[in-house]
Structure 1
Amino acid sequence: MSDPFIGEIKMFAGNFAPRGYSLCNGQLTAISQNTALFSLLGTTYGGDGVTTFALPNFQGRSPIHWGTGVGLQPVELGEFAGVESVSVLTSNMPAHNHTIFASTGEGTSNVPLANGYLAAAVDKDLNPINMYTAAPANQVPLNSTVSGSSIPLQTRSPYLSVSFIIALMGEYPSRS
């Protein structure tokens, strides 16, 4: 196999970085020990630029090419965004209501009616109770209760986890 370019990133099915590579986990790296790689990455992914620089961090992230696609916002090299899950709250939910109407009039049927309303029950002798009506005498909204438990929803597409590794040694890439 030919030598990789310094800074070349590959997907790797193992849970370690082979010799000459490092995992892309965002770790800080000493500039003095990796001057060639620092000359390519700089502080794009972090570090102070004096003694350290950071490797890209692919943990929980999907790669995306930098630049601007048709109809898309520009993405800078090294930029990261997005979240793995989100909580749907009343404050970020579209405005809507769940109004349910019932009738204050007496029921005329003991089975639900198409386009019918819940009505007042009228039988006190354990006979089938008429509690539905086709036309309400007077509509009243029923009280609603809050439901849900504020558990965050996953926002990830289906995925398969692999390691991303970056070449620390190899051929220095030319700009031609």
Structure 2
Amino acid sequence: MDEFLVGEIIPVPYMFAPEGTLYCDGQEYPVQLFQLLFALIGFTFGGNGSSTFRVPNLKGFEPNPNVHYVIVTDGMFPDRY
């Protein structure tokens, strides 16, 4: 996933989340496992306020039933200016 930026949301036509991504389904994840993604989105979408955070929930916003949104966890870290 080196061609994508961490935190980038992309549509995929698969029934699985490709390696280096997570479904955008509002799930909660440990900060320690996804530190780069957490550094960008923090607790914006929820979490327990210390050790877990949530990814955005885009279920129901897909352009068709065979497309799912994923968020990149393993890619290039975006520059901050």
Same fold (TM over 0.5): yes
TM-superposition CA deviations, 1:156-175 (whole Å, max 9, x none): xxx52210011111111012
Q: Structure 2: which 5+ residue stretches go unaligned?
A: none
What residue number does 2:27 align with?
27
The alignment partner of 2:37 has SS state of helix
**2-11 or 162-171, which deviates more:** 2-11
TM-score relative to the length of structure 1: 0.43
Q: Distance in 2 between matches of 1:31 and 1:49?
A: 10
Q: Structure 1: which 5+ residue stretches go unaligned?
A: 63-158
- Aligned-residue offset at 1:61: 3.2
Which 4+ runs in 1 deviate beyond 3 A?
none
Question: What is the aligned-residue RMSD (CA, Å)?
Answer: 1.6
What residue number does 2:18 align with?
18
Q: Distance in 2 between matches of 1:169 and 1:43?
A: 19
Pairing 1:165–2:54 present:
no
The aligned runs of 1:95-134 (5 Å cut-off) are none
The alignment partner of 1:36 has SS state of helix
The alignment-based identity, stated in percent, is 36
The aligned runs of 1:34-73 (5 Å cut-off) are 34-61=34-61
Q: Distance in 2 between matches of 1:169 and 1:2?
A: 7
- Compare the two structures and name the one with the higher helix fraction: 2
In 1, are the aligned partners of 2:2 and 2:76 still within 8 Å (CA)?
A: no
